[in-house]
Structure 1
Amino acid sequence: MQPTTPVPFSAEQMKWYEQACARIDPKRLQDLLFALTDIHSPTGFARAASEFMVQHMNRIGMTARYQPMSFTSGNALGELRGSGGGASVLLYAPIDTHLECSEAEKILTGEGAEADLQPHAQRLDDWVFGLGASNPKGMIATLTEVATALIEAEVPLIGDLMLGMADGGMPVDIAARGHAGMSNGVAHLLNRGGYPDFAIVMKPWNWVYHEEPGMGWFKLRVHGTLGYAGVPRGTPGFRSSVVPAATVIQELEQWIIDYAERNTSGVICPHGWIAGVRGGDPERPAFPSAVTEIFFDVRVNPRTSPAEVKAQFANFVRALQAQRPELDLDWEMYGSVPGGTTDPQNWIIQSCKRGWEHLERRPHGTPDLLGGQTDGAALRRLGVPTARIGWPWPATGAPLPVAEGLGGMGATYIPDLIPCAQKILYALIDTLTRPRHEMGL
């Protein structure tokens, strides 16, 4: 990574920045986060949350509107115009949660009794708990507090500040709600008046990233024959699909590990995991399934197309069948989202790094390799130079029980968010108080 390009603040810009930072109110941020977390908004069902944020953005002095996508789904977009001649910056976060917390999802979550897996908010001291309270709603509350502080500090903006939240940001495909997910909302937002010169996406991890991966979703089927529990092993004409699937899973797990290593470049390590195995019928355990299906997600480096990933997986399946001719396999790629990248020397990347370095008091350096997919990849693919900036995650020391692993991404310690807010404020003042030509526009 090259050193960050120095562009010092003027004395006036530093004064505006300090005034805006002084306006950041952790209590106000927590109040908004609690209220937003208390509005259930699973993918494809975010209308109430988006309408709430439209009302809130209008109250703080922005001009905001709701963008419907369906009866149950829509986006929120707010704007604060500067005096003219500057750049526009979109502060962006998704608004939908990755889970619904229904009975059917207990196969994913377990019993789901933890505080971060509840579709309602709880607060305790400086904490907020509830489904999505950290990701994405902690991001929305922080970005909104940044906009509020900038407005209250009366910073004389030249450029335009935009604040956007879209449904469909989770890496899911909800068929019952018009196939919501996989970044369908952010494209809708941009296509309906929300296209900026630059975007800043807030997401976990305390680094600035200029690129993010996409996704490749695959199903691998192991074929056998319909069986019966009452027949002995070795009965002619019966082949289990379930037992050979155990072998396939081990081979696939190693391929995914090798795939990630082989396709690592830039700041992206495209991890993947087997998500599940499906076959048989719990109401008919006497009849072993003729097909066992394995499904998984591997991430797609921006320098690797989904078609190339598909070809790599096809090679794996061919080699596995050649090595084990007794296996009867077929497969399909049923989801694909390309990665996205921004020139690391682009103004908004460098500006966010300057903000990061101002707060951290050290050079940014090379960030930890990234495998998480967000709408930032879609923004970049759609031509918007985009910086991702974040905070240390997950929060530690929660006073209520939270799920192990990813859980409900719903435990937020408010003080953790404030440095990130200050870094984003730095980039906004750096960008929105300059004429366009100083940023190469």
Structure 2
Amino acid sequence: MTITIPVPFGEERQRWLDATVARLDPARLQRLLFGLTDIHSPTGATRAASEFMASTLRTIGMDARYLPMNDRSGNVLAERRGSGGGAAVMLYAPIDTHLEGNEDDQPWVGPPGFVDLAPRAQASGDWVYGLGASNPKGMIATLVEVATALIEAEVPLVGDLLVGLADGGMPVNIAARDNAGMSSGVHHLLARGAAADFAIIMKPWNFVYHEEPGMGWFKLRVLGSYGYAGVPRGTPGFRSSILPAARIIPELEQWLIDYADRNMSGVVKPHGWIAGIRSGSVERPSFPSAVTEIFFDVRINPRTSPAEVKAQFARFVADCRARHPDIELEWEMYGSVPGGTTDPDNWIIQSARRGWEAVEGRPHPEPDPLGGQTDGAALRRFGVPTARIGWPWPAAGSPEPVAEGLGGMGATFIPDLMPCARKIAYALIDTLTRTRAELGLTKQ
């Protein structure tokens, strides 16, 4: 269990924090969120949104650059330098959305027509809707609002404030767009000047997390023979691939449940879900497929390697083959991203927890086990200690109907974001107004 280590904040920092919080403007945050949500930015095609944000960050007094990765997409890096001798802290968020926002999403995301699935913004009172309006664009707007208030309050920074936004943060792989996804953009960002001592990433759930899982993508194929609808059952040489798959799927589902329990570690519970089943062609329903493919994502805790997870799944398949000698199986691991962790006693984790406790007025509880994967894992693997801090999600009480389940992650109630903004402001002032020696960064 992580314990919050008390460090004096002091009256002067409290005055700076009060001045910053006084300048946090929900209406300004909402305007930025509406404008950004109204710019479509699917994974691998974020140029317009990223250029918009680079321009926005320049208007608030930051030195901001658009960093192209190709002619369709790029990242954003902004900096506000302090007086010198302090830490560089990066506020980070992805900028791409997880859906295409067009007919390619149908029917897989559920019924169309919901406001949170549309790649355009809509507002209703304190609500902003549109694809990605909550995740990631609500996070971007909040981080930028905190940076704006900090600059307007003229807090005398010692360290450097960075804002980093990257494409490819969604757990997808878009082959047609240079294989964008799976943290492809954050690698590009870090290699082009985003040198930070600490990072803060904003993501759903009202806790501070010091670690996040990775992920493993698998395909399990059930083999049969190519058939014909007019063939009687029992005809020699015909083996369905679909009926045996129906026997394997419940066993795979149970394996995923047991895997999560068996591999829980730290604050990570690495859930997994079957994402889809493919077999045959709707244009050729008379011909049953020789292959039925089951594909899924299973999360990986930071202390387990993707290779170990691959070995665990191999044992599951071997056991299935032994118990079902009549079923022919093949499998492959076709995607893997390791998890990432930061020492819970690291300054930025502790500072974020102190900020959380200052705003909430209570000790930070043991967080709910985490299965969500973000670019925070990549930041940590690249040596940037990273705190994940968030807000209650999903938002409740929407006056507009929104899609069931995850939907378009596109319904944001602005007042829900403001406590998180205050927590982040605390951590920034706590960190950026101290010397490297105070933060334990000076090498002996």
For 2:130 and 2:260, locate their aligned partners in 1 and report how far apart those are by CA, in whole Å. Answer: 32
Residue aligning to 1:315? 315
Matched, 1:71 2:71: yes
Could you list the per-position Cα deviations for residues 279-313 of structure 1 after superposition, in whole angstroms to 9, with x for gaps in the alignment? 10101100000000000000000010000000000
TM-score, normalised to structure 1, is 0.99
For 1:276 and 1:60, locate their aligned partners in 2 and report how far apart those are by CA, in whole Å. Answer: 45
For 1:424 and 1:232, locate their aligned partners in 2 and report how far apart those are by CA, in whole Å. Answer: 67
Residue aligning to 2:157? 157
Flag as ranges the 4+ runs of structure 1 deviating above 3 A: none
For 2:2 and 2:102, locate their aligned partners in 1 and report how far apart those are by CA, in whole Å. Answer: 47
Residue aligning to 1:252? 252
Amino acid at match of 2:302: P
In 2, are the aligned partners of 1:3 and 1:365 still within 8 Å (CA)? no
Q: Equivalent residues in 2 for 1:99-178 (5 A)?
A: 99-178=99-178
Shift of 1:9: 1.0
Matched, 1:348 2:337: no
For 2:82 and 2:162, locate their aligned partners in 1 and report how far apart those are by CA, in whole Å. Answer: 11
- 3-state SS of the aligned residue for 2:107? helix
For 2:359 and 2:104, locate their aligned partners in 1 and report how far apart those are by CA, in whole Å. Answer: 44
Residue aligning to 1:206? 206
Matched, 1:420 2:420: yes
Q: Equivalent residues in 2 for 1:266-345 (5 A)?
A: 266-345=266-345
Could you list the per-position Cα deviations for residues 394-437 of structure 1 after superposition, in whole angstroms to 9, with x for gaps in the alignment? 00000111011000000000000000000000000000000010
Residue aligning to 2:13? 13
Residue aligning to 1:185? 185
Identical pairs, percent: 73
In 2, are the aligned partners of 1:131 and 1:410 still within 8 Å (CA)? yes
TM-score, normalised to structure 2, is 0.99
For 2:198 and 2:27, locate their aligned partners in 1 and report how far apart those are by CA, in whole Å. Answer: 29
Residue aligning to 1:4? 4
Shift of 1:335: 0.1
Residue aligning to 1:225? 225
Residue aligning to 1:48? 48
In 2, are the aligned partners of 1:341 and 1:381 still within 8 Å (CA)? yes
In 2, are the aligned partners of 1:224 and 1:328 still within 8 Å (CA)? yes
Aligned CA RMSD, in angstroms, stands at: 0.6
Shift of 1:112: 2.1
Could you list the per-position Cα deviations for residues 138-164 of structure 1 after superposition, in whole angstroms to 9, with x for gaps in the alignment? 000000000000000000000000001
Could you list the per-position Cα deviations for residues 3-44 of structure 1 after superposition, in whole angstroms to 9, with x for gaps in the alignment? 200012111100000000000000000000000000000000
Residue aligning to 2:24? 24
Residue aligning to 1:398? 398
In 2, are the aligned partners of 1:213 and 1:340 still within 8 Å (CA)? yes
- 3-state SS of the aligned residue for 2:65? strand
Amino acid at match of 1:136: P
Shift of 1:101: 1.8
- 3-state SS of the aligned residue for 1:436? coil
Shift of 1:388: 0.1
For 2:222 and 2:208, locate their aligned partners in 1 and report how far apart those are by CA, in whole Å. Answer: 42
Shift of 1:206: 0.2
Residue aligning to 1:377? 377
Amino acid at match of 1:7: V
Gaps of 5+ in 1: none
In 2, are the aligned partners of 1:310 and 1:333 still within 8 Å (CA)? yes
- 3-state SS of the aligned residue for 1:193? coil
For 1:123 and 1:131, locate their aligned partners in 2 and report how far apart those are by CA, in whole Å. Answer: 13
For 1:210 and 1:399, locate their aligned partners in 2 and report how far apart those are by CA, in whole Å. Answer: 35
For 1:42 and 1:108, locate their aligned partners in 2 and report how far apart those are by CA, in whole Å. Answer: 16
Shift of 1:178: 0.3
For 2:207 and 2:195, locate their aligned partners in 1 and report how far apart those are by CA, in whole Å. Answer: 25
Amino acid at match of 2:213: P
Amino acid at match of 2:31: D
In 1, are the aligned partners of 2:110 and 2:403 still within 8 Å (CA)? no
In 1, are the aligned partners of 2:97 and 2:132 still within 8 Å (CA)? yes
Could you list the per-position Cα deviations for residues 32-87 of structure 1 after superposition, in whole angstroms to 9, with x for gaps in the alignment? 00000000000000000000000000000000000000110100111000000000
In 1, are the aligned partners of 2:173 and 2:179 still within 8 Å (CA)? yes
Residue aligning to 1:430? 430
For 2:217 and 2:207, locate their aligned partners in 1 and report how far apart those are by CA, in whole Å. Answer: 27
Shift of 1:102: 2.0
Stretch moving more, 38-47 or 358-367? 358-367
Shift of 1:113: 1.1
Could you list the per-position Cα deviations for residues 219-267 of structure 1 after superposition, in whole angstroms to 9, with x for gaps in the alignment? 0000000011111110000000011111111110000000000000100
For 1:247 and 1:8, locate their aligned partners in 2 and report how far apart those are by CA, in whole Å. Answer: 60
Amino acid at match of 1:410: G
In 2, are the aligned partners of 1:43 and 1:180 still within 8 Å (CA)? yes
In 2, are the aligned partners of 1:64 and 1:77 still within 8 Å (CA)? yes
Amino acid at match of 2:88: S
Shift of 1:334: 0.1
For 1:195 and 1:403, locate their aligned partners in 2 and report how far apart those are by CA, in whole Å. Answer: 39
Could you list the per-position Cα deviations for residues 179-230 of structure 1 after superposition, in whole angstroms to 9, with x for gaps in the alignment? 0000010111011001200000000000000000000000000000001111
- 3-state SS of the aligned residue for 1:35? helix
> Alignment length, in residue pairs?
441
In 2, are the aligned partners of 1:260 and 1:271 still within 8 Å (CA)? yes
Could you list the per-position Cα deviations for residues 101-145 of structure 1 after superposition, in whole angstroms to 9, with x for gaps in the alignment? 221221321232111000000001000000000000000000000
